[in-house]
Amino acid sequence: MPLKFQYNKTALQQLNKQLNIRLRALPTLKNKEAALRMEVKKAKDKIHELEKKLSSELTKESESVGLWNEFQPNLVDVGDVKISTKKIAGVKIPVFEKIAFNEKEFSIFENPKWFSYGISIVKNLAGIGTEREFYIRKMTLLDYARKKTTQKVNLYEKVQIPEYKDAIRKIKRFLEDEENLSKSAQKIVKKRQQKQRKAH
């Protein structure tokens, strides 16, 4: 929507004020965008790191895959994921703290000896998988905030600031032209009055 304005000094003051607000905000917005971009990259890198770790752990345990038929999956599950928040560039970001697991007791006499080791493997794999999911969500949140900030930077830089500058230039020209016309009219009136005085 094109900028609407009137050709007067009040409008000129208001437009100057709005332009200055945007010019002052732009560097802050650009810094925010850069900080968020960096955080998105960090989260992406962490996801790749966790995917490699998960793949490596699964490969390591693939030799004992036959034993897992005996394992009871209900012996361990994710109980709670501790998350805190911190602000990065004015955006609240979740921070992964730790995972708490629920373990059910089992008889070590009635079950295979390796069940305790199996529980630690499940906890390790579930921990890596849960952390990976957390970072995927975190990256999505950060990327959304970054896109919104980029949109605002573009709006200010490519649309509003040029519009305000153009409007200010038009008003200044109009006011200058008006002033020049007024001065010219005054000169004409003065000359007429002088001629009339000489004629009398």
Q: What is the pLDDT of residues 131-155, one digit of tens each?
A: 999 999 999 999 999 999 999 999 9
58 contacts: CB under 8 Å, gap ≥ 6: 125
Q: What is the pLDDT of residues 74-92, one digit of tens each?
A: 888 888 889 999 888 788 8
Q: In the predicted model, is pLDDT for residue 73 greater than 80?
A: no
Count Cβ atoms below 10 Å from residue 7 Cβ, excluding itself: 15
For the entire predicted model, the pTM comes to 0.75
Contact (Cβ atoms closer than 8 angstroms) between residue 34 and residue 168: no
E strand or H helix at 30: helix 9-61
Q: Please report the domains of the chain, with CATH numbers, ordered by start residue.
A: 19-192 (1.10.287.3240)
Return the amino acid letter for 193.
Answer: Q
Count Cβ atoms below 10 Å from residue 119 Cβ, excluding itself: 18
CA angle (107 as vertex; 101, 110 as ends), nearest 5: 135
195 contacts: CB under 8 Å, gap ≥ 6: none
Contact (Cβ atoms closer than 8 angstroms) between residue 76 and residue 102: yes
Range in 50-54, 88-92, 149-153, 156-160 the model is least confident about:
88-92
